[in-house]
Amino acid sequence: MADVRVGVVFRPQSPPEELRETVLAADRAGIDELWLWEDCFRQGGLSSAAAALAWSERVAVGIGLMPVPLRNPALAAMEIATLARTFPGRFLPALGHGVLDWMGQAGARAASPMTLLREYADAVRQLLHGQTLTTSGRYVQLDAVALDWPPQQIPPVIVGGRGPKTVALAGEVGDGVLLDSLVATPECVAAESVRAAEAARAAGRAEPQVVVFAEIEPNAPALGDRARGLIAELADAGATSVVLQCTAEHPDPGPLIAALSE
């Protein structure tokens, strides 16, 4: 099996007051990463990430993903930089379209989600790298914006993608791609890893990280063996992080964390 980081998801179907025990359990079990969702209209991803990072001194915490229509990119860069400076090397922000119907409910749906994501991810990444940014795009307009406190250890800007255009965009403007559970077969992961890597090379960028969310039924027998087998398959297909999520019907990741620690 290729080297791979192992994570679990704290699903938004679980109430936020259960997050602390999940973080502590993941810490005890040696889990590498804990990922959160920012689903409308449940827990706030950044506030939950800040709490999770504070409860552990070891576990990396990701948000998969932050819907870009909901925040100004300057504000997003400020929040990301704050967490990256406070918890160096442990915050993993991912940006994405968000569920378009939810964006419509919030009055934030963009006519061209791809244009918005491209402009937004590029702006956030430049700001995190300490640049002063003036831009007048279709959606992102910034006038001499620079962070007073850019991160000393710059976190990767990961872009969530399901279709080929978004996956290629992740390789072009991001530092990694997040593939969700709907495309988490070894064949899809292998193909999309190549797609993101080719786009990164064409843009003169480094090889992107490949974060894969994979769903697993926590109540079925031999959970630990099934989880480790799935991790091995996806790692061999190109995943650099395999993040296991329980089903919506049984969202508590506690049994999964316990099985992975065996």
Query: CA-based angle 48:17:4, to the nearest 5?
Result: 50
Of the chain, the percentage scoring pLDDT greater than 70 comes to 99
Q: Give residue-wise pLDDT tens across range 24-45.
A: 999 999 999 999 999 999 999 9
Decide which of 214 and 262 is more confident. Answer: 214
- Per the rule left: phi > 0, alpha: psi between -120 and 50, beta: everything else, 9 is beta
Q: How confident is the model at residue 73 (pLDDT cuts 50, 70, 90)?
A: very high
- Per-residue burial over 133-148, b = 16 or more CB atoms within 10 Å of its CB, e = otherwise: beeeeebbebeebebe
Which domains occur in the chain, in start order? 5-260 (3.20.20.30)
Q: Is the pLDDT of residue 261 over 70?
A: yes
Q: Is the pLDDT of residue 245 over 60?
A: yes
Query: CA-based angle 90:91:96, to the nearest 5?
Result: 150
Closest CA to 132 of 77, 92, 173: 77
Residue 262: what pLDDT? 87
* Mean pLDDT, all residues of the chain: 96
Q: Is the pLDDT of residue 1 over 70?
A: no
* pTM for this predicted structure: 0.96
Q: What is the dihedral of CA 209, 38, 248, 4, to 10 degrees?
A: 20
Q: How confident is the model at residue 220 (pLDDT cuts 50, 70, 90)?
A: confident
Q: Give residue-wise pLDDT tens across range 55-66.
A: 999 999 999 999
Residue 56: what pLDDT? 98
Residue tagged 């998969």 (tokens)? 64
Residue 129: what pLDDT? 98
Residue tagged 């997040």 (tokens)? 178
Residue 2: what pLDDT? 62
What average pLDDT does the segment 96-100 reach?
95
The CA distance from 191 to 51, in Å, is: 36
The CA distance from 45 to 205, in Å, is: 28
Contact 138, 67 (CB under 8 A): no
Q: Is the pLDDT of residue 132 over 80?
A: yes
Query: CA-based angle 40:45:50, to the nearest 5?
Result: 160
The CA distance from 239 to 158, in Å, is: 13
